[in-house]
Amino acid sequence: MAVNRRNKVQVVQPSLVVWYKYGQFRRNRFCNRFWRAVPNVWTVNSNDTFEKFTENPTVSEADLKLWQNNKTGVFANSIANNVGWVRFPNDSSVLSNQEDPAAGPHTAHFELLISNGLSIPPFPTAGNFLSITTVLLTPTSRGSVTINSSDPFAAPLIDPNMLSTEFDVAGLIESIRSVRRFVSAPAWDGYIATSVTNATTDAELEAFVRSTTSTLFHPVGTAAMSAKDAGYGVVDPDLRVKGVDGLRIVDASVLPFLPAAHTQAAVYVFAERASDLIKVFWKI
Ligand SMILES: Cc1cc2nc3c(=O)[nH]c(=O)nc-3n(C[C@H](O)[C@H](O)[C@H](O)COP(=O)(O)OP(=O)(O)OC[C@H]3O[C@@H](n4cnc5c(N)ncnc54)[C@H](O)[C@@H]3O)c2cc1C
């Protein structure tokens, strides 16, 4: 949402204004950050997994009816109802060549999304599975959004540029090794049958990461916030677009870095703040 001083509250597509302005005059490239997610999948010695209904139309039909009639059953659940937030150890080789990109000493570097079955592709065709998708929360690769035309309604060029830093690749490889250590704990004895991936060396794991990693849909930073007097960034800390009169941006694009959490709550937080700023400005 954008708020225009002349027209009071007006909903427009603010990013177009920003891309146009900066693309036209500065040929600027904005940062654009995505989480990266890698599927780690094992076959299991149980048939009490999602596959019980995904591979059986009669059961999935019955489960759908259960949801429609009572809002219960497997469809009342999410695809990953257990999560973990994990830091690389301070002496991890992943952190040895660079400054820790996490927000603080207790901020997680990666997340575990634990599913009682297959969650994200590639999907084997049959069997029962456990998935622990590992998600890098502190990626250091930056993508870009650039304009391709002086027409503000022409589609921009979006380059997610995932896995373009050593840290991101090494971090995802370490996240895979970490969940493998996790499932080798005695508590899993007899449950886990085999790993669906047999990549083990650094080179094999890097190839696995590069061929299977996907986004977890949390892009931010295309209109990043920066200090009022900073020569970079798009909005100031009051969410006003720099160099444009009377225009604020209030959406996930203003976050300069990804929070180590799913982005919805962070958006709520600064949207509430924005509403206060706007009310004060207009003396509402
Ligand atoms: C598939 C998916 C799953 C996700 N899951 C989670 C999750 O589980 N937890 C979590 O925390 N986050 C999740 N996210 C991320 C979260 O949804 C986003 O970070 C958040 O919604 C961003 O908020 P926003 O206000 O920036 O943009 P949006 O929520 O996208 O809001 C933008 C709004 O602007 C409207 N709009 C666009 N153009 C115009 C126009 N020209 N005029 C008027 N209106 C316009 C759109 O219709 C939309 O309603 C998920 C995202 C995706 C895509």
- Nearest residue (by CA) to ligand 1, atom 52, is 217
Instruction: Domain count for the chain, please give it.
Output: 2
Last residue of a domain, one of 219, 246, 265: 219
pLDDT at 118: 84
Q: In this predicted model, what pLDDT tens digit does every residue of 80-115 receive, in sequence order?
A: 889 999 999 989 999 998 899 999 999 999 999 999
CB 99 within 8 A of CB 138: no
- Hey, what amino acid is at 72? T
| Ligand 1 near 262 CB (within 6 A) | yes
Structure tokens at 211: 């061929």
Asked if 132 and 52 touch (Cβ cutoff 8 Å), the reply is no
Strand 9-10's sheet: what is its strand order? Answer: 9-10, 2-4, 247-249
CATH of the domain at 260: 3.50.50.60
Task: Look at residues 191, 219, 247 and tell me which one is the last residue of a structural domain.
Answer: 219
Peptide bond into 89 cis (omega under 30): no
The set of catalytic residues is 218, 262
Burial readout 73-87 (b: 16 or more C-beta within 10 A, e: otherwise): bbeeeeebeeeeebb
**CATH classification of the domain holding 111:** 3.30.560.10
Q: Ligand 1 within 6 A of 13 CB?
A: yes
Residue 264 is predicted with a pLDDT of 95
DSSP 141: -
CB 14 within 8 Å of CB 241: yes
Closest residue (by CA) to atom 48 of ligand 1?
1
Q: Name the residue type at position 252.
A: A
pLDDT tens track for 246-273:
999 999 999 988 898 889 999 999 999 9
**53 and 169 inside one domain:** yes
Q: Is 11 in the pocket of ligand 1 (CB under 6 A)?
A: yes
Domain C-terminal end among 219, 238, 265: 219
pLDDT-above-90 percentage for the chain: 56
Show the domain range for 237: 1-32+222-284
Q: What is the pTM of this model?
A: 0.85
**178 and 239 part of one domain:** no
